[in-house]
Chains A and B, each alone.
Chain A
């Protein structure tokens, strides 16, 4: 009995090795390890606080003096105006900007990316401590917190959910479907008809785009999320779904069967999802993530959904997504012409 169980277990392992499932066992811990290395702020230690101060604003001498004295924990960047501060904030070169609070003259407003974030908490705590040390009074220097990312916490997570949906269709659903058609020789059956290779590829990409858009629409209806710049939003969703659908079809062409396609799908899904979604929390990831098309989709999406950004300012990202999609589409076409792994 044990002999049989062992034989079957070894056979299952051999199958897992053959269809590349076992690679996930190695890849996921390795990926988590690398991602954790790239996260530069762990256990609540956010390192130096990078604060922006306006050059032409007359901060109280206690404030500037305290900030100067706290140079070990605080790095000051002097900015020309609020616009420059906002730009550096968006580029994640600073964690917050101290502005004049118009509602309460004499006090300060803190401009940050997100209210509910580790850097915001660190800035508020540090300034509270500095203020107590300098003045000993309980009146806080910072009396208001403004955020660049508008909306509730649910809305702030929306770009991440959308990225997940787009990548799910692109890297999990489509490669498996393409590989299934190859595995069952259905694609070859279709190529026995007068259809052209490019027609089949376009149909697959359209299917991926439709699935993605349906899922996003459903998410919006369920969450009652509205979009201010609807046209810009649709343009990016279409560019992203085209890019990742074409990418997914290409991944399907690299596999002989569905099991391999699922494995390779996960291998691509995680690296595309996590660095983009985690780049908010890590300087190192902000450097690496732009290489990924998922980041070029996620950042504009975030700007459109949370900062009322316009697609006109994001033409690089649009072109990038379109080029990646077109390139992978062309590679799929070449593989299909060569009857790759069919």
Chain B
């Protein structure tokens, strides 16, 4: 699996959005996209998830253009910052609905419920769950079709310290299972030991792309977060 991003651009006005950005994601990488609010992190991930259409540029996954949505949709799973589930239905209903649409057999739903410790909540309505549980259901849904690439937009947003730690453990487990992951964060210190690669966006431009060790020794970190 290889994700190639070439001159991907989305500008809301002259200052906000993402300037032309190019990079390649290889199989098994766990990439943290870091930057302050408004740096263009979410815009980048949403374009990779087909939520936002780019102004220009191209994204391919294993050579297939991302514009061919139905062909790549099972290859990329996206977990947005705010869980987008049918609130008034149960956890099980939500997962089964999406499993049906993904043409995934229903036993996969039981697997997800088990893997994410959601069995006890399967009959609960989404609106009755805590933010952390909702996020788990959201991640579970993204994994239903077993996509090789997973995108997480601010996965720890709104979570307390314990839940943040639990979520990072979950990301680690998913990565260990062979998935390629891109996730955004505006707190680089937290993902020091987790990411295999760090990309820093600043005012819509990619200003650093390298290993965590190099990043924490670089001027970029000093200038942005010191």
Contacts and interface: CB of A to CB of B under 8 A. Distances in A.
Contacts of B78: 192
A153 interface: no
Interface in A166-213: 184-186, 188-196
B84 interface: yes
Contacts of A188: 51, 80, 84
Contacts of B53: 338-339
Contacts of B101: 190, 193-195
B1 interface: no
B86 to A, nearest CB: 6
Contact of A191 (B69, B77, B145): B69
Given A193-B98, A194-B103, A339-B51, A185 B84 contact: yes
A75 B98 CA distance: 68
Interface in B77-134: 77-78, 80, 82, 84-87, 98, 101-103
A270 interface: no
A342 interface: yes
Contacts of A338: 53
Interface residues on A, range: 10 to 19
B70 A342 contact: no
Contacts of A184: 84, 87
Q: Is the interface of B mostly helix, strand, loop or mixed?
A: loop
Interface in A323-342: 338-339, 342
A193 B141 CA distance: 10
B82 A192 contact: no
Given A188-B51, A339-B51, A339-B53, A193 B82 contact: no
A195 B86 CA distance: 17
B50 interface: yes
Interface in A131-170: none
A192 B102 CA distance: 9
Contact of A194 (B52, B73, B87): B73
A342 B101 CA distance: 21
Contacts of B36: none
Nearest to A186: B84
Given A194-B73, A194-B101, A196-B70, A185 B80 contact: yes
A192 B77 contact: yes
Given A191-B73, A342-B51, 11 more contacts: A189-B98, A190-B101, A191-B69, A192-B73, A192-B142, A193-B73, A193-B101, A194-B70, A194-B73, A194-B74, A195-B101
19 contacts: A184-B87, A185-B82, A185-B84, A186-B85, A188-B80, A189-B85, A189-B141, A191-B69, A192-B49, A192-B73, A193-B98, A193-B101, A194-B70, A194-B73, A194-B74, A194-B101, A194-B103, A195-B101, A196-B70
In order of increasing CB-CB distance, the 8 nearest A-B pairs are A185-B84, A193-B101, A189-B84, A194-B70, A188-B51, A194-B73, A193-B102, A195-B101
